[in-house]
Chains A and B, each alone.
Chain A
Amino acid sequence: MTHEFESAMKQLPSNLPCNHTRVGAVRWRQSAERFHTDGGRLLTLWGSDDRDRDGLFRIYAAYLLKEGVAVVEHEMEHGTTPAYPSLAETFPCALRMERAIHDLLGITSMEPDHRGWLRHGGWPQTVFPLRRDFDGSQQFSVNSQPYPFVQVEGDGVHEIAVGPVHAGTIEPGHFRFSVVGEKVLRLEERLGYTHKGVSKRFEEMSQKEGRHLAARLSGDSAVAFSWAYAAALEAITQTACPPRAANLRALALEHERLANHLGDLGALGNDAGFAFGLTQFSRMKEDLLRVNLSTFGARYLFDFIQPGGVASDLPPSAPPLLLDHYHVLEENVSSLRVIYDNHAGLQDRFRESGILSQEMAEKLGAIGLAGRASGVPLDLRVDHPCSPYDRLQPKMITQSAGDVAARVQVRFDEIFESLRLCRMLLADFAPGPIQTECSLAEPGRLGLGLIEGWRGPVLIALESGPDGAIRRCHAHDPSWQNWPLLEYAILGNIVPDFPLINKSFNLSYSGHDG
């Protein structure tokens, strides 16, 4: 970055090193290109309607760089159609985010794809729900229109439409396959079915209440999102979370990672026809959830993390119980790994299925678990550790093959690494308070919270309003980056392998749709 540009950067409150700058339309693109050349990632894009304040719309981009996070802000006059230059040419994952921003705010990127992404006909095309003059309680009757999927033509090419209601206990989304025989020529995803209007809902909540919604953005990442929310609020109110509470948060986050990885390993075995794997891993997951209930007071920790600390302390009986549990779990997972690794039928399905090459992963901006399985070493706990991870020094787990087998191996390795971190946390549990008062933020303060959840980095950008209100809260799930990867990973594979490949990514619909 040019010297001039860097000097314009100001620090932004966050749990990571974070800078902020305002740019014009030209710099908006140039900065993206520069960050891209330097190996940076686009973390998220969000817009804001500030016409009530200064007559402007704003668009923000957050980038993950080696030295931390850079937030770039661009202002737009309120013309007939406020527009900004698209970043999709530099960062392909920006395209869907830009389409979503248009659906909610009516500000447009100069990109030709204007198909609705979150708006499926549930509200009129001329209504933009995130604008301040829109009343969020307004309801409209659904007027659904056909979605123009990209057609593939040729001899024997036909389409298979799947969803939104899927044939299992999973979330809704639509997949359109163009196939010849059983071979997939193209997959196009259509998401947005679980859009519940969370950004607008946040604006009706107080800063204190917001954590309940943050925890429910994606139920499998409740700890990660509620921590990110707390981190953002603590950053703008300059509240320091007590060390014991930080330890408890990390313990909860690692338990969430363990529970999800166990569930996925079982489901992956099952999708490859090995029901024994599902039985064994779902049993281990249930054991862990029951341990959660006796140590944290809930099976899923939706309301455990709150701004300023955590809701409850571990009972005195917990540490020995947890250590025993970790010991049994480690032994069980080790022996299951031997069984998985030596099962010819299972490996035949896992290996070379759904390959996402490192080159493609880099090009598309893969992050989180799926990125690490394709040799993209990114993990906030390692690269930008916030307390207590700075002390724990987590290991970066990567694989290079980028196939289903690699994503399975990353999960196995991360389970062992998480168990090591949990043991370290328990060994170093100094007594102390678990909660400190989190004051109300001054109005107009913007802060970022970033936490490496089990799927990848989750982000909350929080702007305070007057009297403890939320002016704007943008939540970002790593699934935004990783859903498009699946469209590439499936190419050339057969349709029956799709459930297996999809499960190996296990991306969030709710976290993405918002």
Chain B
Amino acid sequence: MINTLSRMIRTGILTETFPTPCAASPSVEGLQKDLRNILGRALCIRHVDAGSCNGCELEIQALNNPYYNLEGFGIKFVASPRHADLLLVTGPVSVNMEEALKRTLDAVPDPKLVVAVGDCGACGGVFGTSYASRGAVANVIPVHRTVSGCPPSPVAILEAIRSAVLGV
């Protein structure tokens, strides 16, 4: 126990201020306030891998590490689409995941947002469209924001989530 506590104290708080390219960059408090005004509570995200190579998943997981501290912004990942406000979809949509993706979207209560992550989610990426791949997420379900990159950085994903919610 003493080891654990001492490691916690030595590590300290690592969370970085929300880095954003635009001048009117919101602070952590600002983003929390925006989300509260729009949603009245935390933003709940359900991630769906619709055929990704697992690269984007690694960067989405990174959003929960202490540097990005997504939950500190009032954004959390939930285990069921029925609890979600936003679907974060990765991958070109494989034909084998097409039905599961549509059903997951149906299970999300209205109003709902969809953010397609990565080059594959945005345009099909290196896999394109084929007998096994429908390509971009927008070919299968309506998409509000895309974030390109292979994989996109955690900051870029956070930026897309923010802009989808704020509608900017």
Contacts and interface: CB of A to CB of B under 8 A. Distances in A.
Q: Are A and B subunits of one complex?
A: yes
Residue of A134, A170, A197 with highest tally of chain B CB at under 10 A: A197
B62 interface: yes
Given A122-B96, A165-B104, A172-B97, A219 B131 contact: no
B130 A283 contact: no
Interface in B31-65: 47-62, 64-65
A14 B92 CA distance: 32
B66 A283 contact: yes
A219 B95 contact: no
Given A169-B60, A280-B7, A282-B62, A193 B96 contact: yes
Interface stretch (A317-325, A336-344, A409-417, A429-437): A336-344
Nearest to B120: A216
A167 B45 CA distance: 11
A112 interface: no
A335 interface: yes
Contacts of B64: 282
Interface stretch (B18-26, B121-129, B159-167): B121-129
Contacts of B129: 137, 139
Nearest to A299: B153
Contact of B100 (A168, A171, A172): A172
Interface string B87-98: 000011011111
B80 interface: yes
Contact of A286 (B53, B56, B62, B77): B62
Nearest to B60: A169
Contacts of B52: 171, 194, 219, 510
A342 B3 CA distance: 10
Nearest to B134: A139
Question: What interface size band does chain B fall in?
Answer: 35 or more
A424 to B, nearest CB: 27
B65 A282 contact: yes
A217 B53 contact: yes
A263 B64 CA distance: 12
B65 A219 contact: no
B150 interface: yes
B131 A165 contact: no
Residue of A129, A136, A342 with highest tally of chain B CB at under 10 A: A136
B65 A222 contact: no
Contacts of A195: 51, 94-96, 132
Nearest to B91: A194
Given A194-B49, A283-B11, A219 B100 contact: no
A370 to B, nearest CB: 17
A279 interface: yes
B25 to A, nearest CB: 21
Contact of A197 (B47, B62, B100, B132): B132
Question: What interface size band does chain A fall in?
Answer: 35 or more
Contacts of A168: 47, 77, 79
Interface in A160-197: 164-165, 167-172, 192-197
B103 to A, nearest CB: 8
A220 B100 contact: no
A201 B94 CA distance: 13
Given A168-B79, A219-B151, A342-B3, A192 B100 contact: no
Given A195-B96, A212-B126, A300-B58, A122 B79 contact: no
Residue of B61, B81, B126, B131 with highest tally of chain A CB at under 10 A: B131
B57 A171 contact: yes
B62 A219 contact: no
B58 A220 contact: yes
B127 A200 contact: no
Contacts of B94: 122, 193-196, 513
A169 B97 contact: no
A511 B57 CA distance: 14
B13 to A, nearest CB: 11
A286 B96 CA distance: 32
Interface string A71-90: 00000000000000000000
Contacts of A289: 62
A302 B81 CA distance: 31
A389 interface: no
A196 B132 contact: yes
A131 to B, nearest CB: 11
Residue of B11, B14, B52, B95 with highest tally of chain A CB at under 10 A: B95
B146 interface: no
A169 B79 CA distance: 9
15 contacts: A122-B98, A168-B47, A170-B49, A193-B96, A195-B132, A216-B55, A219-B52, A219-B58, A263-B58, A279-B65, A282-B61, A282-B62, A286-B65, A286-B67, A510-B52
Given A171-B52, A172-B51, 10 more contacts: A129-B132, A139-B134, A172-B97, A195-B51, A196-B133, A197-B133, A219-B53, A219-B58, A263-B61, A282-B62
